[in-house]
């Protein structure tokens, strides 16, 4: 019985790395920005979970990122990691983090059925950037 418990624990640890568990238990950048330059909420139709990403943009780069939402451990950890990874990143097409890089940063065995959980925050971030209106410079 003890062996079974240890095996179950080993399996869980492979599915959920220490990095993933740490970001789930202690999410970074959780909350709202006082006046975000852009924000977008994504919804996972498979489970009903939601993640909202808010960004502050300065000189065409992400100066601050926050998130709020309800989601599973994978989703919350991915949102937390994402808000750290995109700081200072230019908001140009192709400059944002790729699906593969975000998945790799979770260091976990994300099954195809849970891909949407992991990528939901990134989809919200991409929509934030897409709807962001550059401030008009006065002449």
In the numeric block, the tokens 């959980």 are attached to 117
- Which position among 49, 82, 96, 125 is part of the footprint of ligand FES (CB under 6 A)? 49
Between residue 58 and residue 87, which ones bind ligand FES under the rule CB under 6 A?
71-72, 74-75
In the numeric block, the tokens 């238990």 are attached to 25
**19 token code pair:** 């990095």
Please, what is the minimum distance in Å from the beta carbon of residue 66 to ligand FES? 18
Per-residue x/- track, 94-133, ligand FES (CB under 6 A): -----------------------x--x-------------
Beta bridge partners of 68: 52
Tell me how crowded residue 41 is: count the other CB atoms within 10 A of its CB.
15
Asked if 33 touches ligand FES (CB under 6 A), the answer is no
- Residue 56's closest CA among 138, 135, 122? 135
Residues that bind ligand FES (CB under 6 A): 44, 47, 49, 71-72, 74-75, 117, 120
């Amino acid at each position: 019985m003890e062996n079974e418990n240890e095996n179950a624990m080993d399996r869980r640890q492979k599915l959920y790395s220490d990095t993933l568990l740490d970001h789930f238990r202690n999410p970074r950048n959780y909350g709202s920005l006082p006046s975000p330059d852009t924000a977008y909420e994504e919804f996972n139709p498979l489970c009903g979970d939601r993640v909202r990403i808010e960004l502050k943009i300065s000189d065409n780069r992400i100066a601050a990122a926050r998130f709020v939402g309800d989601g599973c451990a994978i989703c919350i950890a991915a949102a937390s990691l994402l808000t750290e990874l995109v700081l200072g990143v230019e908001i140009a097409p192709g400059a944002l983090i790729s699906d593969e890089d975000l998945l790799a940063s979770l260091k976990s065995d994300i099954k195809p059925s849970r891909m949407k959980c992991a990528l939901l925050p990134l989809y919200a971030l991409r929509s934030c950037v897409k709807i962001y209106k550059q401030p008009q410079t006065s002449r």
